[in-house]
Structure 1
Amino acid sequence: MRNPNRRTALVNAAIEVLAREGARGLTFRAVDQEAGVPNGTASNYFANRDDLLRQVGEHIHVRLSPDAQRLAETMAGPPDKSLVVRLLQELLERLQVDRTGYLALLELRLEATRRPELQAALTRTISENLEQNVRFHLDAGLPGDRTTVVSLYLAMSGLMVERLTLPDVLPEDQMGEVITELVERTLVSGPGGHR
C-alpha cells in the first residue's frame, strides 16, 4: 500500500514545479527532485503524467482552502457587505501567501486547453468548488444570490491573475479599495440586501 502522506508530498512538489517551470517542466524526475525523494518514486504513485496533472488539479483546491478556525472567526461577524469584503480580502491574502498554488492552477488551466481529460477533471473540480462557494454564501445568509456569487468569483479571478502575475498593474495599497468597490457595485441594496 502506498503512503498517502508521501503522495501528498509528491503532489505538493508537483505544484511547485508546475508554478516554477510550467507544464513542460513537470516530469516525474523533476517532482522527485523537488520532493527530495529517490528517482522513480513519483512513477510509483502516478500511473502517468495525465494522472499526476489530474491529482494536482484536485489537490490545489484543498491546498488553497481557508483555515477552518480562521474562517469560523471571520464568520462570527454579521452577514453583511462588510463580511463579504472581508472574506474576499482574506481570499486574496491566502492566495498571495500561497502564490505558487495559484500560479500552478493557472498553468493547469492552460494545459487543460490541450488535454481533454484534464479539462474534464479540472472543469469538474472547479465547478464543484464554485457550487460549494455559492452554497456557503447563501447558507451563511450573506447578501446577494447565486448570480452575485458567480459575478464576484469571476471578478476576483481576474483580480487574482493581475495581482499574482503582474503585481505592479494594481498596487498593493489599492487592493482593499478595489475589493470594497467590487462588493458595493455587485451587491444591490434591497430587502435583506438581496438582488
Structure 2
Amino acid sequence: MRHLLEPELAAEFEIVRADLINSPGDINQDIIVRLHKSDLVVADLTDQNANVMWEVGLRHAFNKPIVTICKSDQKFPFDLISHRHIKYDLTDPDKLDQSRAQIKRFVESAMKQKRYVGPVAAALGMATFQREDVDAANVLLSMEDKLDEISSQVLELNSGISEVEFSLPDAIPADTLQKIDAIHEIISLVRPWDLDRVLNKLRSV
C-alpha cells in the first residue's frame, strides 16, 4: 500500500497497517480499539479476506468513515458494491494515479462531513449520531434517563386511566379512550434512537 496510500495520506494521517501491528496483548482487542478511535480506515477487500470483512463490519457498526479498495481484476463483494469503494492497479502507473486521486477526493469528502452516517446507522435510523461524539457510556446513560422519564409519564397516565375506569366502569368518555389508543401507539414506537420524538408525542397527549 506504500505506492497507493502514502503519497496522498501520509502528510495528514499516521498510517498503520493492521497486519503489521505488533501488540504484546490481545491483537484483536488492539485492532478493535484502533477501528473505533481512528479518524479514517481504508480497507483492502482484495481476495475477500475474512479478517478484513470482520473489520469492515466493526467500522460500520461504529458509524465512522471508511474507504474500501480492491484490485481492479477482482469483483467487489456484492453486499458492499453500493458503498464508497475504489479499484486500483499497481501495474499501471496511469491507473494508479487515478486511484490515488480518487482516494484523495473520497478522504477529503469524508473528513469534511459534520455528520457521518454509515450503512448500519442509516438502516437503523440513527442519523443523529455524529462521528465526534459517539460515546457509548453517555449514550446509554441518556437513554436510561429518557426511558425513566417515559416510564414515569406512562405510570401517571395509567393511574389517571384507572381512576376513570373505577369511577365510571360502564361509561369511559370517548376522549379518554382516544388517549389510551394514543398511548398504546406511542409506546409501540419506542426505539432507543427515537426517544426525543416519543417524549414529545407523550407530552402532546
User: TM-score, normalized by length of structure 2?
Assistant: 0.24
Specify which structure has the higher proportion of strand.
2
Q: Which has the higher contact order (CA 8 A, sep 6+)?
A: 1
Which has the greater radius of gyration?
Answer: 2
User: TM-score, normalized by length of structure 1?
Assistant: 0.25
